[in-house]
Every structure is written in C-alpha cells, then in structure tokens.
Amino acid sequence: MSKISGDDVIENIKKAGIYYQEIIMQLAQNKSLPPMPSDLYDADKSTEIASKLFEQIFEHPEKFTDINLEYIHNLQKLIADSVAKFTGKKSDDQQDLSFTDKRFRDPAWQQSIYFAFIKKYYVISADWIKKTVGQYELDNDGKRFLEFITSQFIDALSPSNFAFSNPEVIRESLESGMSNIVKGMENFLLDIKKSGSLLTISTTDKSYFKIGKNLATTKGMVIFQNDLIQLICYAPKKKVHSIPIFILPPWINKYYILDLSEENSLIKWLVENNFQVFLVSWVNPTKELADKDFEDYLHQGVIEPLEHIQKLGFEKVNAAGYCIGGTLLAIALSYYKAHNSNIINSATFLTTLVDFSTPGEIGALINKSTIGYIENKVSEVGYLDGQYLSNSFSLIRANDLVWSYFVNNYLLGKSPVAFDILYWNSDSTNLPAKMYIYYLKNMYIDNLLKNPECIEMLGVKINLSHIDVPSFSLAAKSDHIALWKSVYEGVKLFGGERTFCLTEAGHVAGVINPATSNKYSHMMSSNILDDPDKWLESAKIHNGSWWNSWNKWLSANSGKLIKSIDYNSLPMIEPAPGSYVK
C-alpha cells in the first residue's frame, strides 16, 4: 500500500466539501420528502399516546424505579470495569454477549478499552430503553407502534453507524487518507439522484443483473395476457406429470423471485423434475389501473389463466401461491368450491397469511390508526409506490437491510456486491389503490377472511373451511412478515389433508433454498394440532431443503408421467420472461 501524504488528505477534504455542497443542493431541491414512521400515525392518536406515557410516569413512578436502578448499577459496573482494565487491574467483566452482533464484529470492539466502553454503554442503554417502553400500558396498536419507533431509534443510534465511533471506519479513514469518506459521499449522492423523492440505499450491484440474461432465464413463453397478468408456459421435458403446476407469485414483488440465477431458480428445478409449469407474471400498475380491486385479481389473475390452461387440454392443476399470492389462492379455492369445480387438484401455500390476527412487525405501520393516512396518500396518486412498501419491510430488519449498507456504502466507501435476491428485493412493484386499501382494511385490519362468509368475491361468500383439497403449507421460523405461528393458525382453517412444513431462515431465504443446499433444515407433519408449540414438539426434523420434501408430496398429487404437450406449436405472444416483469 502506497503511503498517504498530507496533500492527499487535503485533496480528499476538498473533494468531500464539493460533494457535501452538491448533496445539500440535491436535498434542498427535493420538495417531496418521504414520510417518517411517526407521520403515518393519526395525530390525535399520537397525542393520546404521549399523554398516557406522561400520566403513567407521574402516577406510577414505582413501575420504573427498579429499571432505572438496574440501569444505574450497570453503568457503575461498566465504569468500574473500564477503569480496572485501563489501570491493568483484574476486571469482573462477564462474557460479552454482544460479540455475536454483526455490527460489532471488528476485533477493536472487544480489544480496545475505548470502543468496548462505547459499545457496552450502547447495549446497556438500549436494554434500559426497551425495558422502560415495555412497562407502558397501551392498546395493542399503540404498544406495537411505540415499540417499533423505539426499535428504529435504538438501531439508528448504534455507535457503528457513526464515523468517529466505528473503529473500522476510523482505521479505513487513516489508511486511505479519507478517500473512503469521499467515495461514501459520492455513493450517497448517486443514491439521492437515483431515488428521487424517497432515498433508497443501494444493497446490490444493479449493473450486474439483467432480467432475461442472468435472472429469469428459464426457457418459456407468454401464451396469454390481459391488462393485469401474463401467463408464462415453461418449456417442459419430454415426460411430465399429467397434472401441471400453476403458480401465483406475490404481486407485491416481481415473479422472478422464483426464477433467480439458475442455481437459485425454483422454476428451473420444477421443470427438471418433470413438472409442466405455468406461472402468472403480474403487471406493474400505474394510475390507469387505480380502480382494479381484489375481485379483478381473482378473475384476471386466476380464473382467466386457468380457463386458458384448460383449453390446452389440462383438466386440473396443482396450484401454488406465495405470500399474498397464497392468500388469493385460498380465496380462489373457496370460490371454485362454491361453483362445484375441481379444477384445482391440490394447493401449496408459501409463507401465506389467511388469519391476520398477528400480522407481525408490519402491523406497527398497518393498523386502524394508520389506515387513514395510507388511504389518503394512495388515493391521491391512484397506486401505492412499491418503494414505500419495500422500505417499510426493510425497516423491520433495519440493522441487516438498512444500517449495514449505510456503513458499507457511505462510511467505508465500498460498493455492495452483486446478490440476486437483493436485486429482486429492490425491484419494487406498485399496487392499485382500490385493491390495496381493500386488502388492508378487510384482511390486515379487520381480519375478515378467517371468518366464514364475511368476504364476498364475484358473488361468492368466501368460506375457507370448505377447502377440501390436499394442501402443503410452508412457513419460515425467522419470517418477520408472515410469522410462522400466524401461518399455522391459517392452516387450521382449511379442510382436507393438510401438511405443515416449517423451514429455517426468513420470508425469502427460507423459500429460496435450493434442493442441493444443506444450509437449512425443515420440520414437517400432517398432524395439525390446535397448539403450534405442540406441533413443533411432534414434527419430524428433515435435513436439507424443504424443496425435496415438497417434491415427494407434489409428485404424489401430480399423476403419472406422460408425454408433454407440443410446446413448440403453442401460440406465443412473446418469449419469457415477458414484458410485464420489465
């Protein structure tokens, strides 16, 4: 490494100053600032919460005494231990549990008295704040929102997020003559320019990926389309199971989460395992589709493509729905049951909620107190900007999906690596205003779907208990969006043969877990008990990916192997991945 001169440092300081001025100009020109989480909350409700907090502090100070005494004791001990280390005396310091925290993996956080003190002071203070907030008595929505805001505050104030209290950043700045700060400011400026009104931190090298080139490359063609969807038929092997699979991805994101790079493609794997695969690719709606409602998604996203598949000679399909695609599939099953149709032979639900009693951490932002703000903002433009929803989900895992990239990109001046899942995660999709508000009000907030005949679709009162086809339901232990126990509660609403599978990891990594990977194990059982914890005790553990267990279950429900359709003679609108996904 070449030696850094004083002139180099001065030159970098000058460059940083120029970038700083341009950043300020860009921010000043941006009139449409994104809402803070607190802006989503009803003003009267926020005032009510603040009033209750002060009342409880003054009326019941004893509730907080023990917490404050514990905090003072921990601070005194921290100071005593730090002084003992500084003077070379023996310290009573216990094993540092925060060592496993990725934010503090640099050795200096453990080895340096200065940085160890900063880190432990932060950990002690964060614990004190959480315990204090946990003492307040509020209604469920208020409590969740307060805890969410508190968590965001604590994460933001981590010493790892500041240049002068992060040892890795300080070391990099000294070694590079502050060129990392210059590069970080350049990265920040580029993100501001690319993001428009809503700052989005780059999490992957977007230049590396191109849909149809190294993502969504499984051979297929669009054989049907309407203004909401394109139906993709994938090129089959010579022999396929007699019953094809019909997949409903979430329309909150692009479908190619299921067809990432070849080694991570669930679609490619299904084709290789002799399944004829049909998949719905949702359009990215603009204000022209503002009046599309949930019934349109049922009719145009399920009924019309299934009618087209039947015209190809397939009498039945095995359907699979991911996330909100699974919610739509459950509604479709009830709809078809009311019409005495058995076109859907079996159903697979991937991290799907149909019982929204416990919607997870996103419930802090979507509830009765926030719905008014959301409805007004979405109705103004006719759709929900997908980036707002994507950023909201990122805030649920802020340390992993926000602050780690803030440090990497802006403080260390590095560029994020190419990662297919994070590219997909940043490729957000808009949602039509009417559909989105209906979904939030009737399912997330009022939780009507779980109650028989409380929701009506296309003239049919939906009753999930009438679903009697074999079902395979997947949940993920670390899923912050569809909590595994909430998914399990939904499974209990179905009739028919039910298999519940619980994998490790989260909402995406738990699902996209290739069959050859041994990274995550899974548990599975068809004995659906009332208590999910009892199910957990009784379920059998399987090593490796859940894809292998699903393959066995799906094959058993897909009929014998037959000669595939004459794929090359099918009328093609355009090759896969199609234009809607782009």
CA atoms of 159 and 122, how far apart (whole Å): 7
Return the H-helix or E-strand segment holding 49: helix 43-59
501 is catalytic: no
Task: Please give the single-letter amino acid code of residue 286.
Answer: T
Residue 540 in contact with residue 502, Cβ under 8 Å? no
Return the H-helix or E-strand segment holding 248: strand 245-248
Task: Write a three-state SS string for 163-227.
Answer: HHHCHHHHHHHHHHCCHHHHHHHHHHHHHHHHHCCCCCCCCCCHHHCCECCCECCCCEEEEEECC
CA atoms of 123 and 72, how far apart (whole Å): 13
Question: Considering only CA atoms, which of 101, 79, 81, 98 is closest in space to residue 90?
Answer: 81
SS3 at position 473 = strand
* Buried b or exposed e, range 288-318, using 16+ CB within 10 angstroms: ebbebbbbbbbbbbbbbbbebbeeeebebbb
Residue 160 in contact with residue 388, Cβ under 8 Å? no
Sorted by sequence, the CB contacts under 8 Å of residue 198 that are 6+ apart come out as: 34, 385, 387, 388, 391
* Buried b or exposed e, range 149-167, using 16+ CB within 10 angstroms: bbbbebbeebbbbebebbb
Active-site position among 233, 323, 454, 501: 323
SS3 at position 542 = strand
Q: Give me the residues paired with residue 492 across strands.
A: none
CA atoms of 220 and 222, how far apart (whole Å): 7
Residue 290 in contact with residue 383, Cβ under 8 Å? yes
- Which region, left, alpha or beta, applies to residue 574 given φ > 0 means left and ψ of -120 to 50 means alpha? beta
Cα angle 33, 208, 206 (rounded to 5 degrees) comes to 5
Q: Please report where in the chains the tokens 């809607």 appear, as a residue.
A: 580
Distances (CA, A) of 329 to 214, 309, 553: 29, 16, 18
CA atoms of 539 and 500, how far apart (whole Å): 9
Question: Considering only CA atoms, which of 311, 308, 306 is closest in space to residue 345?
Answer: 306
Residue 326 in contact with residue 300, Cβ under 8 Å? no
Sorted by sequence, the CB contacts under 8 Å of residue 48 that are 6+ apart come out as: 142
Sorted by sequence, the CB contacts under 8 Å of residue 582 that are 6+ apart come out as: 211, 212
**Helical pair 62-86 and 113-134, crossing angle rounded to 10 deg:** 170
Residues involved in catalysis = 323
